[in-house]
Amino acid sequence: MNTICSSCQATNRLPEDRIDDGAKCGRCGHSLFEGEVVHATAATLDKYLQDDLPVVIDFWAPWCGPCVNFAPIFEDVAGERAGKVRFIKVNTEAEPELGARFRIRSIPTIMVFNQGKMVDQLSGALPKTPFNQWLNESL
């Protein structure tokens, strides 16, 4: 499988049976699967969408109350699904071109991508259990 380092955006190739072995980036040595939420920009998002792991993107803004309240849930689920799904946040205020490109009309908007193609979308924040259920159905 190919996966993208969240630190240096290098593409790393590794056998799928080695995901749980503490894999590190071949370029910078950063852990590849520690479950952190990655903050993407227009310059980095397309690279992350090339990951063989499914990608979940939270389009948000710092002034949005539901977005801020949903952030800890998004981070918790990202930690729980480390090595199985990549979680990304895009600040639509700082990256308006990404908001326009993905036709974001309300925030938070969560999108699931697999092999670079969007497979599902959710508008609005959910509590943790319904969010996990939605992810299970989407993945």
Which residues are annotated as catalytic? 64, 67
Is the peptide bond prior to 62 cis by the omega test (within 30 degrees of 0)?
no
Shortest CA distance to 26 belongs to which of 7, 51, 46, 45? 7
- d(C-alpha 138, C-alpha 113), whole Å: 9
Nearest Cα to 53, choosing from 135, 115, 137? 115
- Residue pair 120/114 in contact by the 8 Å Cβ criterion: no
List C-alpha distances in Å: 54 to 62, 80, 83: 25, 14, 10
